[in-house]
Structure 1
Amino acid sequence: MIKIGCISWSHRNDFSKGAMDVFTWMEHCKQECRLDGAEIWNNHFESLEEDYLQKIKKKSEELGLPVYSVATKCIFGGFSDEEIKKAKDTMREWLKITDYLGASIMRISIGGEGLRDEKRQEKVFLSLSEVIQEGKYPHITVGIENQEPGVVQNVSDVKKMKAVSGGLLKVVLDNGSFIKKGDSYGFMEEVLLDAAVVHVKFFDINEDGSDKILDYAKIKDILKSKGYDGYVSIEYDSNEPAVRDVPKIASYLRKVLLEVE
């Protein structure tokens, strides 16, 4: 059964203004949005010390709101040996944090120069796969988010990632990360079976929480036809108040995807 969550990036403006922290955000997700789980963006961790992580874990348990995914970024820079090593060390650090919080998914966005170069693209896939192959966290699925510009942008990129990593790397499917938004439906249909999690983008919402750009009735049909039963993470890409709008989006998704009020 599909579960509905949210990435804390959706509320980035509230975090940056100091109006919200991870704990008040989690309360909002549970109480106002009635979500099934939470995905925390790395920028919203005030500390990586164990006592702080323990507080997040405790809040998750108190609310009955599992942290299902942790979102981070690996920077490859100019792809020097030192920069590649640093990117791999970053991944190891965040895998440990993801494991500590009990999350089963780690989302990675990739930074670096010349990411569309075939050799550099392959180096990213190989480097991350080598960390996974160390075998410390076999229960965690690692996904790279498709982004424009980015190391993964299209169907052929996902197929290459799968081939190079031997299926170890999945895609974090951002259904709105396309210049031509109509392309997102075909992309979703092609790569959904290789998705660790689906990020459902909302840009400009109607009063009922539906999006004015993306057709979620069509998206529901794709999810249903492929038998997707994981999390969908709300990603609100707007400067309108997320505290006001994400509850509407969550309610809309429950009606459309789950057919419940």
Structure 2
Amino acid sequence: MKSFSLSRRAFFQSALLAGGTALLTPMSALALPAREIPKYRISLAQWSLHKALFDKKIDNLDFAQVTKEEFGIDAVEYVNQFFFDKAKDTKYLDQMKKRASDAGVRSLLIMVDREGKLGDPDDGKRSQAVDNHKKWVEAAAHLGCHSVRVNAASDGTWDEQVARAADGLHALTEFAEPHNLNVIVENHGGLSSNGKWLSGVMKLIDDPRCGTLPDFGNFRVSKDEVYDRYTGVKELMPFAKAVSAKSHDFDDDGNEKHTDYARMLGIVLDAGYHGHVGIEYEGSGMSEPDGIRATLRLLERVRAERIAASKPSRDEPVHAADGAKKR
């Protein structure tokens, strides 16, 4: 553990030096005013540190502590690839749960990959994929999460894929219900990156425990087709139980180059969503810690702007009824 701690410290120190003075701005300077109700909360998706995790610079068991100590974030979204053989290891899961609790970090969900197509055209393979996902539902429940994020991969015509994905998702959702878990689908390639298609799957399933995890950036349907990200998120938000703030590159003003965060978060908030928005940095132009911090600053800035815009001006009268509602 001692050698690992040194390795982790060196990793973050090198990232800080590489990032320059921009990273020295304390997060407290961007914090919400005391007792202010947030428009949304911020979490960290484990994939944001996938390079460090795959390179063993960070251990999965330390992810929650790293999230809190290095970034001041108190909620995490796990990725099953970083503890792929531990889904049924309750002792290991107990360690994860304790590490998160000790750090004051809430475990929100597990992103599940590499367990088969829930919309597979072959009935047997689709059923096997459902079974493969069940252990992650149990693991998520053990950790105190509210959801498992899955994929709705399928093949066939539009309507065939709707029916097949709905069948697999419905079966998994039925299994998840006694565990008090949600099954949520991310736009993650293929027709799942078409907001109209995925929202159609949700309407067909029509189960409050089966929802979506809209990702700001995953709207490439195929090599030749990219779905409009703003339209897609708007179509998926009525079913959202989590949101992924994908980021890659930033301009000199700290804005994400590919997504207008103010516009996108406006869509999120206008849908009535006030849950966690998860940072998922996937860029290569800066280190992972730098990218996480840049995304965090942007999310905090947009949130502060939305709060300021929603407050009455000094010249605007506040009616007694309005004041009563705010107490």
Same fold (TM over 0.5): yes
Change (3 A) 1:137 1:218: same
List alignment gaps of at least 5 residues for structure 2.
Answer: 1-37, 308-327
Question: Please, which of 234, 251, 272 is the counterpart of residue 189 of structure 1?
Answer: 234
Relative to total residues, which structure has the larger helix share, 1 or 2? 2
Question: Please, which of 96, 100, 109 is the counterpart of residue 56 of structure 1?
Answer: 96
CA distance in 2, matches of 1:246, 1:115: 38
Query: Which string of whole-angstrom CA distances, capped at 9 and with x for unpartnered residues, describes residues 186-226 of structure 1?
Result: 22223212112111110112466431111111123222322
Change (3 A) 1:225 1:111: closer
Comparing 18-27 with 129-138, which one deviates more in the overlay? 129-138
- What's the TM-score once normalised by structure 1's chain length? 0.88
- 1:117: how far off? 4.8
List alignment gaps of at least 5 residues for structure 1.
Answer: none
Letter in 1 for 2:258: I
Radius of gyration: which is bigger?
Answer: 2
CA distance in 2, matches of 1:134, 1:222: 32
Check if 1:210 corresponds to 2:255. yes
- 1:24: how far off? 3.0
Comparing 74-83 with 153-162, which one deviates more in the overlay? 74-83
**Matched positions, count:** 258
Change (3 A) 1:81 1:190: closer
The residue that corresponds to 1:16 in the other structure is 54
- 1:27: how far off? 1.9
Aligned residues with identical type, % of pairs: 21
CA distance in 2, matches of 1:116, 1:208: 44
Check if 1:75 corresponds to 2:120. no
The residue that corresponds to 1:256 in the other structure is 302
Question: Please, which of 68, 72, 88 is the counterpart of residue 130 of structure 2?
Answer: 88
Partner SS state of residue 27, structure 1:
helix
Residues 176 and 182 in structure 2, CA contact (< 8 A), matched pair in contact too: no
- What's the TM-score once normalised by structure 2's chain length? 0.72
Residues 219 and 228 in structure 2, CA contact (< 8 A), matched pair in contact too: yes
Partner SS state of residue 237, structure 2:
helix
- 1:137: how far off? 3.3
Change (3 A) 1:84 1:223: closer
Relative to total residues, which structure has the larger strand share, 1 or 2? 1
Change (3 A) 1:238 1:137: farther
Comparing 184-193 with 8-17, which one deviates more in the overlay? 184-193
Query: Which string of whole-angstrom CA distances, capped at 9 and with x for unpartnered residues, describes residues 105-156 of structure 1?
Result: 11002445x265532441221122123224653521211111222x422232
Letter in 2 for 1:137: P
Residues 3 and 36 in structure 1, CA contact (< 8 A), matched pair in contact too: no
The residue that corresponds to 2:32 in the other structure is none
CA distance in 1, matches of 2:296, 2:170: 34
Question: Please, which of 193, 200, 213 is the counterpart of residue 160 of structure 1?
Answer: 200
CA distance in 2, matches of 1:94, 1:208: 40
Change (3 A) 1:80 1:50: same
